[in-house]
Chain A
Amino acid sequence: MQTFVSPKVDKVGIEDRVNRITKRSIKKKAKLEGLKMALNMVDLTTLEGMDTTNKVTQMCYKAQHLHDEFPNLPTVAAVCVYPNFVKIAVDALNGSGIKVASVATAFPSGHSSLDVKITDTKMAVDYGAHEVDMVISRGKFHMGDYNYVYDEIAAIKEACGKSVRLKVILETGELGNLDNVRLASDIAIAAGADFIKTSTGKIKPAATLPVTLVMLEAIKDHYYKTGEMIGMKPAGGISNAKLALHYLIMVKETLGVKWLDNHWFRFGASSLANDLLMQIMKQSTGAYQSANYFSKD
Chain B
Amino acid sequence: MATRIDVLKTYKIFIGGKFPRTESGRFYQLKNGKTPIANVCLSSRKDLRNAVVAARGAFEKWAGATAYNRSQILYRMAEMMEGRKEQFTAELMSQGMEKNKANQEVMKSIDRVIYFAGWSDKINQVFGSVNPVATSHFNFSSLEPMGVVGLIAPENTGLLGLVSTLCPIIISGNCGVVLASEKYPLSSITLAEVIATSDVPGGVVNILTGKKDELVSHLAKHMDVNAIYLASNGEFKKQIQEDAIQNLKRIIIRDNDSWDDEDHEHPYAIADFMETKTTWHPIEIISGSGSGY
- A→B interface (CB under 8 Å): 285-293
Contacts and interface: CB of A to CB of B under 8 A. Distances in A.
B49 interface: yes
Interface of B: 49, 52, 218, 221-224, 246-247
Contacts, number: 25
Nearest to B45: A288
B52 A287 contact: no
B221 A290 contact: no
Contacts of B246: 285, 287
B44 to A, nearest CB: 13
Given A286-B221, A288-B222, A290-B223, 10 more contacts: A287-B221, A287-B223, A287-B246, A288-B223, A288-B224, A289-B224, A290-B247, A291-B224, A293-B223, A293-B247
Nearest to A288: B222
Contacts of A286: 221
Contacts of A287: 218, 221-223, 246
A290 B247 CA distance: 10
Contacts of B221: 286-288
Nearest to A281: B223
A291 B221 CA distance: 15
Contacts of B222: 287-288, 290
A289 B53 CA distance: 11
Contact of B52 (A285, A288, A292, A293): A288
9 contacts: A287-B218, A287-B221, A287-B223, A287-B246, A288-B49, A288-B222, A291-B224, A292-B224, A293-B247
A288 B49 CA distance: 7
B152 to A, nearest CB: 17
A285 B221 CA distance: 10
B239 to A, nearest CB: 14
B155 to A, nearest CB: 25
Contacts of B223: 287-290, 292-293
